[in-house]
Amino acid sequence: RIRHYRWEVKYEYKSPDCYKKLVITINGRSPGPTIIAQEGDTIIVDLENSLLTENVAIHWHGIRQIGTPWFDGTEGVTQCPILPGDTFRYEFVVDRPGTYLYHAHYGMQRESGLYGSIQVSPRDGVAEPFDYDYERSIILNDWYHKSPSEQATGLSSTDFKWIGEPQSLLIQGKGRFNCSKLTTPSLDPDACNQTKPECAPYVLTVIPGKTYRLRIGSLTSLSALTFQIEGHNMTVVEADGHYVEPFVIKNLFIYSGETYSVLVKADQDPSRNYWATTSVVSRNRTTPSGLATFNYYPNHPRRSPPTVPPPGPVWNDVESRLAQSLAIKSHQNYIHKPPQTTDRLIVFLNTQNQVDGRVRWSVNNVSFNLPHTPYLIALKENLTDAFDQTPPPTGYDFVNYDIFKRTNKTNATSSDGIYKLQFNTTVDIVLQNANDMNINNSETHPWHLHGHDFWVLGYGKGKFDIFNDPRNYNLENPIMKNTVAVHPFGWTALRFRADNPGVWAFHCHIEAHFYMGMGVVFAEGIDMLKNLPSSIMGCGHTKGFHRP
């Protein structure tokens, strides 16, 4: 079946957290419309860019784009940006059931509110390994009052200006900023208005006794989050489109780019409402928790719960986050066994550095620059001067590098070189975290791979030991995902098959960190691709390739 959408993307004034600012909407909405489809459907999105002065591109997060690598929506990697006034057709197949996302993938534009969810149900007659009565999608997000261009300018200038902590957290596009905290009051009485219905808390209405599947995704710019529903347990059943061996939690840790389905039974005292909250973890909390109402029908949805909202675990409790990561295994009836050996191991040291007087993030001491000619076109058309042909390093100085020491600021370089993977081989990636430029500090980075799912083989603390740690890999029932966290001062090991012809970004999903160079690009099977659509061309070295 074909699901055809027509989307107009434009700026509008909105107040998702009561503070009025420019937000990028799809057909007037942010979050944009939920794409609801069935396994095997073809999605067509005709996108009209009405941003007037800004380019755009949309990435279909978690959709592997098998056979359509040119519609992955990653500006600079798989396509030229869509110019103001232009329309662009994305057309791809959703080949697996599950919970996915879509969002802008151009500069730091995702932060402007251009995002939404994709829900794919199984084929007719195919059951899922759990039961529920109803389902809801919830996207969690953090929210800044400054525009992405203002933030990006601060990040890329020699007079570095960090974006800081977000002003609020949004649950399904709704948050609450305390207007009395505004540092520059406005004459416009509507500039920050907490009585606006637009920023009333999101209400999740449930019928007592029923079970709900919550499809929860995070598209935060920066924050790692915990999500909890006061007095209710949650059972994790799906992660990034893969069924999980169910386990029960009180709070869900979720990193930017991840999706989970949890089951919640409305089995508490039905005479009142409850709080659903989300709070920042992994960075010292200065942002107030995001609040939603878990509303037991027939109580009034605006009736405040009689309790204090639960704050969730303390921000610096790394152990419980690591424990939850380790608890996520493949459902026993849906195990895709990984290859038991690998053809190639690449270790990625994650560091913060200074490059040419700018604060950047680096992978093996190389900070990534996005080129203006998309790699996919450059590789297919052999435009060898479009990017640096030297591949970046596949490891770092394992013997001498101390991951617990502050980064040696100056020893990094920047490059737009890429990793070429031999088609149909098995690739292992170990993400190695380290101390950044601050004393005793290592951040959480959620890494997202385009075009593939990977097996999560293991997590560890400290420095990855190439000889011993692989002996403890989970090769029996690892979960497959497209986004995974590397915890502070730890490592995460992944395995994937390089079996999807195309060019694929692999990057930290923190918007500012990717912008500051925290990413790499893989290319595989380019010679197997037939002609590229000319709609993706027209920029950089591909000027004149575009035939409208």
Ligand X SMILES: O=C1O[C@H]([C@@H](O)CO)C(O)=C1O
278 SS3 class: strand
Number of helices and strands in the chain (H, E): 4, 32
Return the residues of window 172-191 that contact ligand X according to CB under 6 A.
Answer: none
CA distances from 218 to 117, 151, 215, 509 (A): 10, 21, 10, 10
111 belongs to the binding site for ligand X (CB under 6 A)? no
At residue 255, φ and ψ (nearest 5 deg) are: -110, 155
Does the N-terminal peptide bond of residue 97 adopt cis geometry, omega within 30 degrees of 0?
A: no
Query: Least distance from C-beta 374 to ligand X, angstroms?
Result: 26
CA distances from 538 to 281, 352, 501 (A): 42, 34, 22
Q: Which helix (H) or strand (E) holds 328?
A: none
Return the residues of window 507-536 that contact ligand X according to CB under 6 A.
Answer: 512-513, 516
- Going by the DSSP 8-state scheme, the letter that residue 110 receives in this structure is G
* Region binding ligand X by CB under 6 A among candidate stretches 171-179, 187-195, 245-253, 430-438: 430-438
Return the residues of window 357-386 that contact ligand X according to CB under 6 A.
Answer: 359
Query: Least distance from C-beta 360 to ligand X, angstroms?
Result: 9
* Region binding ligand X by CB under 6 A among candidate stretches 115-123, 294-302, 397-405, 432-440: 432-440
Return the residues of window 321-360 that contact ligand X according to CB under 6 A.
Answer: 359
Q: Strand 290-296 to strand 274-281: parallel, antiparallel, or no bridges (unpaired)?
A: antiparallel
Task: Decide whether 238 or 436 has the Cβ nearer to ligand X.
Answer: 436
Closest residue to ligand X, judged by C-beta, is 162
Nearest to 234 by CA among 203, 267, 257, 201: 267
69 SS3 class: helix
438 belongs to the binding site for ligand X (CB under 6 A)? yes
Query: Least distance from C-beta 404 to ligand X, angstroms?
Result: 17
8 A C-beta contact, residue 117 and residue 215: yes
Q: Which of 443, 469, 511, 524 binds ligand X (CB under 6 A)?
A: 443
Task: Decide whether 24 or 363 has the Cβ nearer to ligand X.
Answer: 363
Query: Least distance from C-beta 516 to ligand X, angstroms?
Result: 6
How many residues bind ligand X, per CB under 6 A? 9
Ramachandran category for residue 92: left, alpha or beta (phi over 0 → left; psi -120 to 50 → alpha): beta
CA pair distance 463, 86, nearest whole angstrom:
49
* Region binding ligand X by CB under 6 A among candidate stretches 29-37, 38-46, 114-122, 437-445: 437-445
Q: Which of 134, 162, 297, 398 binds ligand X (CB under 6 A)?
A: 162
Task: Decide whether 100 or 515 has the Cβ nearer to ligand X.
Answer: 515
* Region binding ligand X by CB under 6 A among candidate stretches 75-83, 372-380, 418-426, 434-442: 434-442
436 belongs to the binding site for ligand X (CB under 6 A)? yes
Query: Least distance from C-beta 318 to ligand X, angstroms?
Result: 16
Task: Decide whether 90 or 368 has the Cβ nearer to ligand X.
Answer: 368
Query: Least distance from C-beta 352 to ligand X, angstroms?
Result: 6
Nearest to 60 by CA among 260, 257, 261, 244: 257
Nearest to 393 by CA among 451, 347, 446: 347
Task: Identify the residue whose tokens are 């596009």.
Answer: 173
Query: Least distance from C-beta 492 to ligand X, angstroms?
Result: 18
Query: Least distance from C-beta 489 to ligand X, angstroms?
Result: 15
8 A C-beta contact, residue 537 and residue 377: yes
CA pair distance 536, 374, nearest whole angstrom:
9
142 belongs to the binding site for ligand X (CB under 6 A)? no
Query: Least distance from C-beta 491 to ligand X, angstroms?
Result: 19
Interface ranges with ligand X (CB under 6 A): 162, 359, 436-438, 443, 512-513, 516
